């Protein structure tokens, strides 16, 4: 199976195709222009464009050609196919470009929120290891060469520095190991187990839920724009949430729609969105502006995701910085106090 494009690669492809189709260029000509406009060779997109060009020249549609290349996600393929069927390919391509650009932004922000604490923890572990291995032994060696009650009474400070550094080092190593195990489990197909642990933290649970709702709402807006019926659009959009608790809510919304409720009413009854957003959806549906309201909700949910991640970073950043300063500061203070006492006594 070919390696797939990342979010920005899919976004760039869809936006380029959308702009050329809007300009009146046929799909086969657009693919040819996009292929020859690339200067880099040997990349994923370059090899994919060659396959797409071959299939388009043989009379196949863009969706079928993209599928044959093997570099696009299923959601993009479904939407392009829906766009071709409904005659709204241009609009769908622009929506996909925005969708994957937004996904990239949110994913990068979340990745940075996880990477920064991990780097900080590793830095603190290295500093503590240096303190235990080099700094504290050097001071101990100096004090041990001294004689008399003055030096003997000072050893307690150094022992406390050793104990404090060892406790902090062991605790941080455990945290780092837990993060590494969690990452390996996430990548190894045990994502649900990791999510179950993260849900115990209100901040993490809120981030996961907001991201799932953002993905669902964005997909729903695109499916409805492609001409799908509301119930079909909801069914197709549920897997895009990719988060168990939210998917359960969405399935209940779908069941409500089967009982005759509209999407807005079913979502409102299930409290899928917070009350303000739910009323927006109801008003949009009654006024015939459901598609526009869904776009607005997508923007608001993306903003909520960014704010939640910033809030998490805003909590973790000063916490880790504080641990670093307190750990190093107390350790150095513990080994400097005996020296200060000696200098005062000599003076």
| Phi/psi at 60 (5° precision) | -80, 160
Evaluate if residue 120 carries a pLDDT over 70: yes
Rounded Cα gap, residues 9 and 29, in angstroms: 20
How many C-alpha atoms does 276 have within 13 Å on its Cβ side? 4
Boundaries of every domain in the chain: 7-72, 101-347
Evaluate if residue 343 carries a pLDDT over 70: no
Rounded Cα gap, residues 280 and 72, in angstroms: 33
Evaluate if residue 71 carries a pLDDT over 50: yes
Q: What is the pLDDT of residues 31-62, one digit of tens each?
A: 888 887 655 555 788 888 888 988 988 888 89
Residue-level pLDDT at 74:
85
**What is the greatest pairwise CA distance in the chain?**
96
CATH class of 101-347: mainly alpha
Helices (H), the chain: 7-22, 27-36, 44-57, 62-69, 74-86, 89-130, 136-145, 149-152, 155-187, 191-198, 202-225, 230-241, 244-258, 263-269, 275-286, 290-346
Tell me the percentage of the chain whose pLDDT exceeds 90.
2
0.75 exceeded by the pTM? no
């Amino acid at each position: 199976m070919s390696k797939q494009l990342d979010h920005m690669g899919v976004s760039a492809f869809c936006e380029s195709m959308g702009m050329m189709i809007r300009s009146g260029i046929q799909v086969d000509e657009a693919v040819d222009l996009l292929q020859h406009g690339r200067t880099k060779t040997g990349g994923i997109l370059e090899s994919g464009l060659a396959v797409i060009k071959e299939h388009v020249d043989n009379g196949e549609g863009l969706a079928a050609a993209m599928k044959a290349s093997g570099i696009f996600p299923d959601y993009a393929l479904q939407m392009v196919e829906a766009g071709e069927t409904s005659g709204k390919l241009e609009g769908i391509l622009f929506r996909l470009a925005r969708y994957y650009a937004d996904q990239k932004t949110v994913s990068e922000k979340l990745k940075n929120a996880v990477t920064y604490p991990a780097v900080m923890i590793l830095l603190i572990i290295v500093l503590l290891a240096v303190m235990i291995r080099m700094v504290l032994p050097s001071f101990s060696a100096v004090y041990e060469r001294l004689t008399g009650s003055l030096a003997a009474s000072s050893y307690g400070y150094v022992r406390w520095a050793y104990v404090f550094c060892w406790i902090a080092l062991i605790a941080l190593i455990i945290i780092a190991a837990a993060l590494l195990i969690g990452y390996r489990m996430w990548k190894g197909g045990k994502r649900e187990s990791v999510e179950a642990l993260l849900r115990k933290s209100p901040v993490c649970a809120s981030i996961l839920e907001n991201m799932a709702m953002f993905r669902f709402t964005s997909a729903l807006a695109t499916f409805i724009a492609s001409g799908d019926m509301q119930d079909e659009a909801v069914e197709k959009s549920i897997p895009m949430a990719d988060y168990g608790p939210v998917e359960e809510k969405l399935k209940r919304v779908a069941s409500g729609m089967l009982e005759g409720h509209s999407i807005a009413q079913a979502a409102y009854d299930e409290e899928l969105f917070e009350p303000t957003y739910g009323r927006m959806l109801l008003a949009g549906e009654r006024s015939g502006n459901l598609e526009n309201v869904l776009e607005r909700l997508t923007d608001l949910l993306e903003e909520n995701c960014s704010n939640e991640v910033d809030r998490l970073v805003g909590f973790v950043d000063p916490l880790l910085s504080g641990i670093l300063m307190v750990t190093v500061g107390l350790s150095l203070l513990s080994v400097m106090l005996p020296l200060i006492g000696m200098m005062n006594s000599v003076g």
